[in-house]
Amino acid sequence: MPKLLRSLCFIGFITLALHGCNDDTQTFTKVRIGLAIQPSTPLIIIAQKKGFFRAAKLDVIITSYPSGRRAFDEGLLKNKLDIASSANTPVALAAINQQPITILAEISSTSNINRLVARKDRGINNLKDLPGKTIGTQKNSAVHYFLNLLLQQQNLTEHDLSIVFMQAEDLPEALMQGKIDAFSMREPYVSQAVKLMKDNTQIFSSPGLMQQSHMLVANQSWLKQNPNVGLKLMTALYQAEQFTQKHPEQTLDIMAAEMNISAAKLALQIKPYQLRLGLSQRMILEMESQSQWLIKQNQTQKPLPNFLHYIDSNPLTQVKPNAVSYIHKP
């Protein structure tokens, strides 16, 4: 090949290489997020649907799971996900077991979403009728902890009845078939049971009994390999938070389409939730209380975890500093 041609080819190669380096598509970070598509996760869905993740140079792939606990256990802890959205109970259990996780933020909180759904024809007219009954729930989850608190209110323990652990999506059918007398769960499974059982259900709630946070939790090693991704995530989610506040009707429409229900029905389900980013002292106290229960429940001698070691507040502090309110060293 002539020298001049070789020189032109070399210049062309360098030009193409530089063009590739400057291409915006090369700067996107791939993020695998797992979640249950439910009223606790609109900030993630809105950030994806409205392009806030893309604007932050994140290539987000969302995988739906029947529950946050399943996303956490089957996705994040098995390295199939980079981030999971989960209620605090599975996160507390992971910390007890010293799993390599990092809490980035609360994405929603509530104190009135869990329910006990019972069959009327099994003689369950009030909570005092539970002794001797068979109750289904999802093990080591927020709804399992809620059941424990509900029993304590009635001076009952799990030994006063029979508890059957099942997958969340199997509970409505099990109730209809009479395999269980009641179950402890949240939406959409409560409404599914009511639809299946017609007028044969009794629903019990206890507003304020259980404070519950829904959190964004990352794989610790993945987060270290992608040090800027936390800030990008918080930036996109803060935009989503502002969108939900400014455009509540559009938010309902987007989420209703994702959940395949009417916007009117979703409006009732989403009402108990506060859709705000945060890292609060309340969140830590919740996990400490649940950790004590989990240690006793699983009959382990493991010590209570220090949750300050599992939180990275820097990304949220940069985006929304007043949202970080837990007690920690600056």
Q: At 123, list the tokens.
A: 């003689």
d(CA 264, CA 250): 12
Residue 23 has φ and ψ, to the nearest 5°, of: -65, 130
What is the model's pLDDT at position 249? Answer: 97
d(CA 265, CA 37): 15
What is the model's pLDDT at position 14? Answer: 37
Q: Is the C-alpha dihedral spanning 198, 181, 35, 142 positive or negative?
A: positive
Look-up of token digits 């209380």: 289
d(CA 89, CA 141): 5
- Residue 97 CB contacts under 8 Å (≥ 6 apart), including other chains: 302
| Residue of 213, 216, 214, 210 whose CA lies nearest to 311 | 216
Q: At 258, list the tokens.
A: 């994702």
pLDDT in tens, 205-264: 999 999 999 999 999 999 999 999 999 999 999 999 999 999 999 999 999 999 999 999
Judge whether 320 and 109 are in contact, CB under 8 Å: no
Side by side, which strands form the sheet with 58-64?
Answer: 58-64, 29-35, 83-87, 212-219, 101-110
What is the model's pLDDT at position 13? Answer: 40
Residue 106: which H helix or E strand, with range?
strand 101-110
Judge whether 269 and 40 are in contact, CB under 8 Å: no
- Domains in the chain: ranges and CATH: 11-16+22-109+212-323 (3.40.190.10), 115-204 (3.40.190.10)
What is the model's pLDDT at position 8? Answer: 39
Which regions of the chain are under pLDDT 50?
1-25
Judge whether 118 and 162 are in contact, CB under 8 Å: no
Look-up of token digits 């987007």: 254
Task: Kindly give the interhelix angle for 142-153 and 281-297, rounded to the nearest 10 degrees.
Answer: 80
What is the model's pLDDT at position 52? Answer: 98
What is the model's pLDDT at position 270? Answer: 95
For residue 131, say if its preceding peptide bond is cis, omega within 30 degrees of 0.
no
Residue 215 has φ and ψ, to the nearest 5°, of: -120, 160
What is the model's pLDDT at position 174? Answer: 98
